[in-house]
Structure 1
Amino acid sequence: MNVQDFVEGIKRGDRRILAKAISFAENGHPIAKEILRQIYDKTGKAQVVGITGFPGTGKSTLVSKLVEEFRKRGKSVGVVAVDPSSPFTGGALLGDRLRLNGADVDKNLWTDERVFFRSMGSRGRLGGIAKKTGDVVKLLDAAGYDMILVETVGAGQGEIGILEVADTAIVVLMPEMGDDIQVNKAGILEIGDIFVINKSDLEGAENLERWLSFTLSLDSSDSAEKGSANAERWRKRVIKTVATRGDGIKELADAITEHFEFLKRSGTLEIKRAERTKMMALEIAMEEIRAEITKRCSNLLLDSKDPYTIAERILKDIIKI
């Protein structure tokens, strides 16, 4: 298959071609860049929802219930679940796929042509997402999926990578997960647009809701999308769910839809996406520069120079370019 075959297949929603293109993107196949270049003008229609939080808060169950809810609303859904990588193969351990194949999800979703699920290995990347998550999101977007749900690894701290791909960021918490200082230390309160208290049937849910609502109200920068003084502001929501029973899922789906409408109405969506495009371009450029530097460094090491001299010579070569 050539590039055009892939591009046409993705645009018409061919799931097998889409899956193969995703594999190429993940593995850095030379054809992937050209595929992404040619499908890029077909992206930008999907709402990308990032779901992050501490391990054990029920993110995977929440994702499965959201898929069901959005399908009831007639939306097609793509899911990107970032799993910890195998230390031997670098592949995903597929924990989320095993959970989504369990009692938490309607088995009909697995045969639903309008649902596409993909696991990705984090491959050691920090921030909760895999290096190529953005590319996978673009491929799903070009394939016509209305909603794209991205679930992070769930390391608990430093999960800000979700902001690189998501229009709407959901932070999942649960009662009895630790003290308030630990939650603040993780830095996840700054990144969320919607906060979910899952397993809210457990003791302590009311206290967590009060504390979270109070904390979010303290800092205006945490309770509004950044913008000019006259800009329309988004008030961050706190929603209680019991995902295993489906409680609160409709309200959460409503809040996700409302946030996307706010982003479009206020002009924030365009600003966010323009910034992400810039950051993505810089990351691609830096990746290629790093590869070139690695190649040159390997050649220069044959001269047995000290690292400072090698670095100086590489920089001189790059500046000439």
Structure 2
Amino acid sequence: MGLPDLVAAARAGDRRATARLLTVVENDTAAAPALAGLVKGGDAQIVGITGSPGVGKSTLVSALIAAWRAQGLRVGVLAVDPSSPFSGGAILGDRVRMADHALDPGVYIRSVATRGHLGGLAATTTAGVRLLEGLGFDVVIVETVGVGQAEVEIASLADTTLLLLAPGMGDGIQAVKAGVVEIADVYVVNKADRPGADGTVRDLRAMMSLVRREPGEWRQPVCTTVASEAKGIDDLVAAIAKHRDWLAEGDRLAAKRRRRAAAEIRARVDAALRVRFAVPEALAAAVAEGELDVASAAGTVLRGGAGGPEIGTGDTG
């Protein structure tokens, strides 16, 4: 089956076709540029879900899928998992917690291995999102790996970023720290039936009261959920929709999409430059042994690419 036929089948809800197309994107095969030309456009709502390990991200994703499917929306999910050190594939696979949707033709869920990429996402996540959007999905959810304070890449990808916190996991302290907390558009205190949930909500609201905002700026709501029982999900869906409406005012959403596209282009350029300007082992050895300084070595690589001038040519400026 050729690419056009696969795209047509995927748009009609064929999961195997969707899986094959995502494999093309993830492996960046020779067919990837042609595929990109076939799936241009789309207007999916991109929702990022992030938070520390154990806060209930996958369970919340499952509850959100159910809510959006009840509205008749087609939902795609990219669940980013840590890579196996042995096979390179995704460990566990969060699809286990989303098994309720396994037979729903309006839902597509895929576990994506990080393959060592930092930032909470996989290197090909943005391309995967673009593909699902072009295939006609109404909502694309990106669930990050369990992240720390510095892994904030999801904010540049998603239209709306949810940060999950849970009581009893030290998240209240995180509320006053810089990093991942700052990227959220909506805060979600999950497992809100546990002791300490009210305190976590208070910590978040106290933190937000210290942030100075101009008139018209988005003020992040704090939603409480018990995802395992689907409690609070309707309010959360409403908060996400409200943020989408706010983005739609003026040029906000379009500007965010342009920044995302620029970041994707930069990532592609960076990857190409790393290949073109690979550092020869002999050059690295010369720096390590003190025969050459780093700036001169970098100049050598930049002037000649991977096949740069030989060390010791006298032209090290």
TM norm structure 1: 0.85
Shift of 1:283: 0.9
Q: Secondary structure at the match of 1:111?
A: coil
2:210 matches 1:218: yes
Alignment of 1:1-321 (within 5 A): 1-40=1-40, 42-43=41-42, 45-101=43-99, 107=100, 109-178=101-170, 180-185=172-177, 187-221=179-213, 232-294=216-278, 297-298=279-280, 301=281, 306-307=286-287, 311-317=298-304
- Measured in 1, the distance between the counterparts of 2:38 and 2:266 equals 19
> Which structure 1 residue ranges, 5 or more long, are not aligned?
102-106, 222-228
Identity, % of aligned pairs? Answer: 40
Matched residue type, 2:57: K
In 1, are the aligned partners of 2:7 and 2:38 still within 8 Å (CA)? yes
**What CA distance in whole angstroms lies between the structure 2 residues aligned with 1:283 and 1:172?**
27
The DSSP-based 3-state class of the residue aligned with 1:289 is helix
1:195–1:236 CA contact under 8 A, matched in 2: yes
Q: Distance in 2 between matches of 1:53 and 1:253?
A: 18
3-state SS, counterpart of residue 313 of structure 1: helix
| Offset from partner CA, 1:42-65 (integer Å, 9 cap, x none) | 23x000000001111111110000
Residues 87-124 of structure 1: CA deviation (Å, up to 9, x unaligned): 111111134122223xxxxx3x2111110001001112
Alpha-carbon offset, residue 18 of structure 1: 1.9
Count the aligned residue pairs.
298
- Larger helix share, 1 or 2: 1
Matched-pair contact (CA < 8 Å) for 2:113–2:122: yes
Larger Rg: 2
User: Is the 2:156–2:259 contact (alpha carbons within 8 Å) kept by the matching residues of 1?
Assistant: no
Alignment deviations for residues 240-282 of structure 1 (CA, whole Å, 9 cap, x no partner): 1111111101110111111111111242111111111111111
1:37 CA displacement? 3.9
CA 1:302–1:157: 2 relative to 1, 3 Å: closer
The 1:89/1:9 distance shift into structure 2, 3 A limit, reads same
C-alpha distance in 2, partners of 1:286/1:195?
33
* TM-score normalised according to structure 2 size: 0.87
Contact map agreement 1:199 1:241 (CA 8 A) in 2 = yes
Instruction: Give how far 1:158 is off.
Output: 2.0
AA aligned opposite 1:89: S
Q: CA-atom RMSD, angstroms?
A: 2.2
* Aligned AA (1:317): G
Whether the 8 Å CA contact 1:49–1:149 is kept in 2: the answer is: yes
Q: Is the 8 A contact 2:81 2:91 kept in 1?
A: yes
